[in-house]
Structure formats: structure tokens, C-alpha cells
Amino acid sequence: MTGTLEKDPYNIVITGVGGQGNVMASRVLSSMLVRRGFRVTIGETFGMSQRGGSVMSHIRVSSEGVWSPQIPKGRADLVVGLEPIEALRVLADYGNSAVVVLVNIRPTYPVGVITGEAEYPDPETIRRAVTGLSADARFLDSTREAIRLGNSILGNIVMIGAVAGLRILPVDRELFDSVIREGMPADRVEANLRAFDIGVKSVSERGGPAETSGDID
């Protein structure tokens, strides 16, 4: 095993909306951790999820064994939200005062909001709620960064880069490179590496957690 965990098991939730590459993100991050020698359990809910529903992956990282594919309530250590209200939904069930949260601020509106029947909370409310419910909250527009790279689906990899940039988990670019090369056609590797780098930069450029907590751009 190379690297250590802050906690064992270390509990990660990656959440978003069907089609955002949630499952892919959880697989990539977990494969990196398996290569570091950890035992990883991923619990996923998909099936109907590609039809616009919420998607959630629970990742348990441990040096000793297999843990439940469902994280106990209130026990997330890191929440990666590919969509803002999905991040809040996860905090409502799995949040606690020590949790670290990464949020892509770009909303994907539910049908009820599109049709004008329901309200989507404004960015300020979301920012305040996420910040209040976490020890360290980082906000980034990974969708915008991914579109700049030519494909909005790369937003999930920007977020994985951001996870690496936080330096909570023993994962880095070299490891990402080897995992992504194995799972992907060669012509797409470069764009994924660039997305990863943007993610790393977006959380490390602005210094320590205290300064960036609650920062929204």
C-alpha cells in the first residue's frame, strides 16, 4: 500500500444527474485507489438513472477489507457534486460537520423547474447551505471548463482532478494517466489529462481551504 488515509474506511460520495459521467468518475477514482493497494467498495444506483434521475456512487476506501456498498447516514468524508442540488441532497443524508465538499456550480434543471412548476434555489442559497454543512467547501464551474476543452462530459474528470488537487487522497496525475490509458481509446487520453490538470489547478491555485471556502466563480 502506498499512501495513507485520514480515516478508515474513508467514505466518498460522487453525485450528479444521469448522463454526467457519475459512474465513470467513480470507476476512475476507485481504480486509482485500488492501484495504490487499497480495498475499495463502490455502491452504485443506476438502471432508471439515465432517464434524468439523480445518480449517486458511494465509494469506501479501506486498507483492511470490504465495507458496505451503502455509506451509513451522516458518515461521508468527501462529497463530489457534479450538480449543485444533488450535492445538497447528499449532504442532507450523509453530511456532517467534518465533511469536505467539491461542487460543480452548473445546474442541471429538473423537468419541474423547466416547466415552471418548481423553483431551483438561487446560487447564493446553494453556496450558503453547502458552506454551512461542511468543513471545507470548494465551488468550481467544471462544466464551463469542460466545454472549453470541447466536450461537456469531461466535467467529471475536471472534478476528479479537483479531488486529487485537494491532496486528501493518495492520488496524482501519474496514477490518473496510467488508469485512463487502460480504459480509453488513445485519442481521448490527452483531453482527459487536460481536464484532470484543470481540476487540480482549480483547487490548488487559491491556497488553503480557509481562503477558498465559499468562493464561487
Partner 1 sequence: MSWDRSHGEGTEVLLMGNEAIARGALEAGVHVASGYPGTPSSEIIETLARFAEPGRLYVEWSTNEKVAMEVAAAASFAGLRSLCVMKQNGVNVASDFLLHLSGSGTRGGMVLVTCDDPGALSSVNEGESRHFARLLEIPLLEPGDFQEAKEMTRWAFSLSEEIRNVVMVRSVTRMSHASGNVVLGPLPEASGKARFLCDGAVSDPERGPMTSAPVIRKHLLQQEKLGKAAAIFEGSPFNGYSGPERPELLLITSSACRLYSREAVSLLEVEERVGLLNLGTTWPIPPGLLKKRLAAAEKVLIVEEVLPFIEDQVKIFAAGEAREIGIKTFYGKYDGTLPMVGELNPDFVAAAIGRILGVDLPSLPTEYRELLRGLEGILPRREQTFCPGCPHRATFWLIREALQRDGRGGFVCGDIGCYAMASLFPAAGFGTSKTLHAMGSGTGLASGFGKFGPFGMRQPALAVCGDSTFYHAAIPALINAVHQRADMTFLVLDNCGTAMTGFQPHPGIAVNAMGETTPMVDIAGLCRSLGVPVETADPFSLRETGETLNRLMENPGVKVLILQQPCALSPEKKGKKRYLVEVDAVRCLGDACGCNRLCTRIFRCPGLLWNREKKKAEIDEVICAGCGVCAGICPAEAIRCAEGGAS
- Nearest distance from residue 74's CB to partner 1, in Å? 5
- Nearest distance from residue 204's CB to partner 1, in Å? 26
Q: Which is nearer to partner 1, 25 or 102 (CB)?
A: 25
The letter for the amino acid at 171 is V
Q: Which is nearer to partner 1, 61 or 140 (CB)?
A: 61
* Matching residue, cell 487502460: 182
Whose CA is closest to 201, among 119, 153, 145?
Answer: 145
Q: Which is nearer to partner 1, 139 or 176 (CB)?
A: 176
What is the 8-class DSSP label of residue 37? T
Q: Which is nearer to partner 1, 78 or 87 (CB)?
A: 87
- Nearest distance from residue 96's CB to partner 1, in Å? 6
Question: By the 8 A CB rule, do 200 and 165 touch?
Answer: yes
Indicate the SS3 state at residue 43.
Answer: strand
CA dihedral (87, 102, 100, 178) in degrees, to 10, reads: 120
Residues that bind partner 1 (CB under 8 A): 17, 27-28, 30-31, 34, 39-48, 50-54, 66-74, 85-86, 88-89, 91-92, 95-97, 110-121, 125, 129, 132-133, 152, 179, 182-183
